[in-house]
Amino acid sequence: MKNWIQPGEHLTLTMAAAVAGGAGVLVGDIFGVAQGDAGAGEEVVLVRRGVFELPKTSAQAWTAGAKVYWDDTAKVVTTTATDNTLIGAAVEIAANPSATGIVLLDGVIR
pLDDT at 99: 98
- The CATH number of 10-106 is 2.40.300
Q: Give the start-to-end residue ranges of the domains of the chain.
A: 10-106
Q: Which of 97, 103, 98 is nearest to 77 (CA)?
A: 103
Q: Is 16 exposed, middle or buried (0-12, 13-18, 19+ CB in 10 A)?
A: exposed
pLDDT at 107: 81
Q: What is the pLDDT of residues 67-84, one digit of tens each?
A: 999 999 999 999 999 999
- pTM here is 0.94
